Amino acid sequence: MSGRRSAHALIAAALLLPLAACGSDGDAGAKTGKPAEAGGSFPYTVDNCGVRTTYQKAPERAVTMNQHVTEIMLELGLEKSLVGTAFLDDEVLPRYKKTYDAVPVLAEEYPSKEKLLAADPDFVYGGYASAFDPKDGRTRDELKKSGIDSRLNIEYCAEGRTTLDDVYREVDEIGRTFGVGDRAEKWVAKARATVAATEKGLKGREPRPVFVYDSGDKTAQTAGGAGIGNELITRAGGRNVFADVDKAFGDATWEQVVARAPEIVVILDYGATTVEQKKKRLLDDPALRDVPAVKNKKFAVLPLSDAVLGVRAPDAIAKLASQFDR
């Protein structure tokens, strides 16, 4: 798949990283004896995916690898702290385009270790476990040996199911790491209000069974129950028919899709295969003709960047809810 790693590669890479609890105490990660205050207070200590880091000051030369973490930085107004970025899954949101275009793109996908080090970062922020792939020499331990701190988006080290609380925590901890905790607090408050408004409009509705179609022909790549995608579906008034798959993304057989009879198919939009091509694959499969969603051509569409843990999550819930209701 052009321009994007497969979900299988992501999961495999995730298994190569320590899966220790990401700040299992559930707070903002500060255990310095004095809590970090809104707006920025240093030193700030945070536990992230088994790596404990104390920041004496905000990072000044950050590199983001993967779109959703880049957008977290841009949402918090931290573009001046970025000296490089890499790996888009789809288009950045229009409101980020101007600031994104001013940041050097180190590589279309992941940069080599040499190219990454050439940007002279003091902080590397990965959205997927594959950002720190040992095969490429970019592990967090290797970066630390070069004097570079790092962070992994907590969707790929969370214990149990990922929820909106993890989204809020991710934004909060990035805000505190960069000394803009006040901006993070404002974003979280606005996000909570957006989610509450969507849920208010869904009261009394029976959840509808939903199948997420990421990709695949012989088998279906789908959203499991461990990732933020499951939470988005639930909050939007759906029920993920593959919530029992204990991964963010995983494989399902077409026989399982038929047996679970989804009423709605959510198609993830990214890469070289278009939404229309994915729809055609489902509609042309005689084995799926009696699946309610396929029979009734009940499709919803979500960009991949909406379906991972980032600042798009609140609006993605509203986007899904409006499509489920059609």
Amino acid at 84: G
Question: What would the mean pLDDT of 131-136 be, rounded to a whole number?
Answer: 94
Q: Which residues contact 238 (CB under 8 A, 6 or more apart)?
A: 207, 208, 209, 210, 264, 320, 324
Is the confidence at residue 171, as pLDDT, over 80?
A: yes
The answer to whether 212 and 223 have CB atoms below 8 angstroms apart is yes
> From CA 298, how far away is CA 265, in angstroms rounded?
6
**Spatial CA neighbour of 267 closest among 239, 312, 234, 229:** 229
Size of the chain, expressed as the number of residues it contains: 326
pLDDT at 39: 55
Query: Which DSSP string corresponds to 111-128?
Result: PPHHHHHHT--SEEEESS
The answer to whether 131 and 148 have CB atoms below 8 angstroms apart is no
For residue 189, what pLDDT band results from cuts at 50, 70 and 90? very high
Query: Which DSSP string corresponds to 249-307?
Result: EEEE-HHHHHHH--SEEEEEE-SSS-HHHHHHHHHT-GGGTTSHHHHTT-EEEEEGGGS
Name the DSSP class of 215.
B
> From CA 132, how far away is CA 61, in angstroms rounded?
18
> From CA 152, how far away is CA 49, in angstroms rounded?
7
> From CA 120, how far away is CA 83, in angstroms rounded?
8
pLDDT at 326: 73
Is the confidence at residue 251, as pLDDT, over 50?
A: yes
> From CA 180, how far away is CA 317, in angstroms rounded?
26
Evaluate the omega torsion of the peptide bond into residue 104 and state whether it is cis, within 30 degrees of 0.
no
pLDDT at 16: 36
Q: CB 206: neighbour CB atoms within 10 A?
A: 6
Tokens of residue 84, six digits: 């490089």
- What percentage of the chain carries pLDDT values higher than 90? 83
Which domains does the chain possess?
Answer: 7-194 (3.40.50.1980), 203-324 (3.40.50.1980)
Q: Which residues contact 124 (CB under 8 A, 6 or more apart)?
A: 62, 63, 64, 65, 116, 131, 138, 143, 148, 149, 150, 151
Positive/negative CA dihedral, 180, 50, 53, 146: negative
> From CA 35, how far away is CA 29, in angstroms rounded?
9
Is the confidence at residue 300, as pLDDT, over 50?
A: yes
Backbone phi and psi for residue 303, each to the nearest 5 degrees, phi listed first = -60, 145
For residue 325, what pLDDT band results from cuts at 50, 70 and 90? confident
Kind and range of the H or E run holding 220:
strand 220-223
pLDDT at 33: 30
Place of tokens 């004496």: 56
Question: What would the mean pLDDT of 197-204 be, rounded to a whole number?
Answer: 91
Question: What would the mean pLDDT of 292-314 be, rounded to a whole number?
Answer: 97
For residue 126, what pLDDT band results from cuts at 50, 70 and 90? very high
